[in-house]
Amino acid sequence: MNYRKLGKSGILVSEIALGCAAFHGLTQDETDAFLDYAIGNGINCMDMYTPDPDIHARIGAYLRGRREKLVVQAHFCTAWRDGQYVVVRGLDDVRKSFELMLDNSRLGFVDVGMIHYVDSMETWRQLIDNGVVDYALRCREEGLIRAFGISSHNPDVARQLVHQGVEVLMFSINPCYDLMPSSVDIYAMAERSSYEGSALCLDPSRQGLYEECLQLGVGITVMKTFAGGSLLDVRKSPVDRTLTPVQCIHYALTRPAVSCIMAGARSREELDACLAYETAAEADRDYAVAFADFPRIDWSGRCLYCGHCAPCPKHIDVAMVTKLLNLTIAQNGAAETERGHYAALDAHAGDCIGCGACEKRCPFSVPVMKNMRLAAQTFGL
Ligand code: SF4
Ligand code: SF4
């Protein structure tokens, strides 16, 4: 298992992490067995968005005496009513529900405390006005959460919020949703009709969000990696094509700032399909050719950081150089961190001999040689 830092929080997480879909209706023994299996395979992080008190109690019981085994991401603003998950926004409801989670689980603290489902600035203003944001920040001061986060599906909203002290962002990332402008809400993103009509291209506000998170040190934990499963099933796929779980995971993990994907696995078999990423060959991870075959989508010119153009005879990591170049352009000049990452690369854009092999292999017509010249000028190497 590979581990990544969760942005500036410094928390180390397994790049394949767990959602909580598998835990509904399990016994304690079944919960223990599933967690043993996940942890035994290197997973050290899970999202616990559910307010189900029974799940909190079972996961807490498993972790008693071994709390360090799991980084737990829990959510403010979810509550359990009549056996159902509901979203709550009032301070009393939020506080009661969060305290209940800590009591039931007896965890003592959670690693990431995340304000749930902030998809509009009206919601955010409401959460500030009624004291929920202050409450979450107080929880951090008191050590009840180690890092403060939000979850969102809207790139414009998330872009504004990551500048307001957020350390972790949970965001929906997959190649279909990345085609959707921010005006399309999460329910419409699942509809085939949203992808019909004129040709689509990658939405710049989503790409901008990931780049800004990287600059700001905001770690991204990913939800909806498989678009709710529809990218794995041609009958449901909004683009009439499917990807494998490994390709979807590789797409998410190659976006800037992403630390881990929360695998919403409901069974050991589904978890195995995600864990297979860790041992998959590069050819099996490669999503470039599959993307190029998506109909009605214009990927041209924009680097997806897929690495399909490798190998370079001068050992230039084209995907990484292009990512650092785009980050630099986005912030109008190279920041020290990008310069540091660039300098540490084994080979630099200045080593490019213009052989053109990368451009022949790139399915998205990215002008790699031009980008290498620009990177060499920008970074001076
Ligand atoms: S240049 Fe093309 S093939 Fe290479 S990483 Fe970018 S998109 Fe992928
Ligand atoms: S054109 Fe430059 S970056 Fe591309 S493969 Fe050749 S040397 Fe490498």
Q: Are residues 120 and 204 in the same domain?
A: yes
CA distance 135 to 127: 10
Q: Do residue 285 and residue 340 come from a single domain?
A: no
pLDDT at position 341:
87
Q: How far does the centroid of ligand 2 lie from the alpha carbon of residue 156, in Å?
A: 35
Per-residue pLDDT band at 363 (split at 50, 70, 90): confident
Per-residue pLDDT, 200: 66
* Cis peptide leading into residue 245 (ω within 30°): no
Predicted confidence (pLDDT) at residue 377 exceeds the cutoff of 80: yes
Q: Could you tell me if 144 and 287 lie in one domain?
A: yes
* Band (195; pLDDT cuts 50, 70, 90): low
Residue nearest to atom 8 of ligand 2 (CA): 312
* Residue 174 Cβ < 6 Å to ligand 1: no
Instruction: Give Dmax over CA atoms of the chain in angstroms.
Output: 66
Higher pLDDT, 58 or 292: 58
Q: Per-residue pLDDT averaged across 364-371, rounded?
A: 92
Bridge partners (DSSP) listed for residue 150: 115, 169
Asked whether 162 and 125 are in contact (CB, 8 A), the reply is no
Rounded-to-integer distance, Cα 263 and Cα 278, Å: 13
- Measured by CA distance, the residue closest to atom 6 of ligand 1 is 303
Round to whole Å and give the CA distance between 297 and 318: 23
Q: 48: burial class by Cβ within 10 Å (0-12, 13-18, 19+)?
A: buried
For residue 305, which atom of ligand 1 is closest to its CA?
5
77-96 confidence digits (pLDDT tens): 999 998 888 999 999 999 99
Is 143 in the same domain as 237? yes
Q: What is the pLDDT of residue 303?
A: 87
Burial 139-158 (b: 16+ CB within 10 A, else e): bbeeebbbbbbbbbbbbbbb
Residues lining ligand 2, CB < 6 A? 312-314, 316, 318, 352-358, 368-369, 372
Q: What is the pLDDT of residues 30-81, one digit of tens each?
A: 999 999 999 999 999 999 999 999 999 999 999 999 999 999 999 999 999 9
**Together in a domain, 263 and 338:** no
Number of domains, the chain: 2
**SS3 state of residue 44:** coil
Q: Among 276, 292, 308, which residue terminates a domain?
A: 292
Measured in Å, residue 324 CA sits from the centre of ligand 1 at 13
User: What CATH number does the domain containing 186 carry?
Assistant: 3.20.20.100
Identify the residue whose C-alpha is closest to ligand 2 atom 7: 352
* 353 CA closest ligand 2 atom index: 7
Alpha-carbon distance of 171 to 53, in angstroms, equals 25
The model carries a pTM of 0.84
Q: Which atom of ligand 1 is nearest to the CA of 288?
A: 8
Expressed in angstroms and rounded, the spacing between residue 308 Cα and the centre of ligand 1 is 6
- Using the atom order of ligand 1, give the atom closest to the CA of residue 361: 3
Mean pLDDT of 225-235: 85
Higher pLDDT, 203 or 260: 260
Amino acid identity of 197?
G
Q: With respect to residue 191, please indicate whether it lies within any of the assigned structural domains.
A: yes
Q: Which of 366, 370, 374 to mutate to test the pocket of ligand 1 (most atoms within 8 A of CB)?
A: 366
Regarding whether 151 and 227 lie in a shared domain, the answer is yes
| Residue 197 pLDDT level (bands cut at 50, 70, 90) | low
- Quick one: average pLDDT of 110-136? 95
The string of pLDDT tens digits covering residues 14-29 is 999 999 888 988 999 9
Answer whether residue 301 shows pLDDT above 80: no
Residue 140 has pLDDT above 60, yes or no: yes
Helix, strand and coil percent figures for the chain, each rounded to 5: 45, 15, 40
Q: What is the pLDDT of residues 236-255, one digit of tens each?
A: 777 778 899 999 999 999 99
pLDDT at 171 over 80: yes
Domain range for residue 36?
3-292
Rounded to the nearest 10°, the torsion over CA 306, 212, 346, 351 is 80
pLDDT at 334 over 70: no
Q: Whose CA is nearest to atom 2 of ligand 2?
A: 352
* Predicted pLDDT of residue 198: 58
User: Of 251, 277, 292, which residue is a domain's last?
Assistant: 292
pLDDT at residue number 110: 96
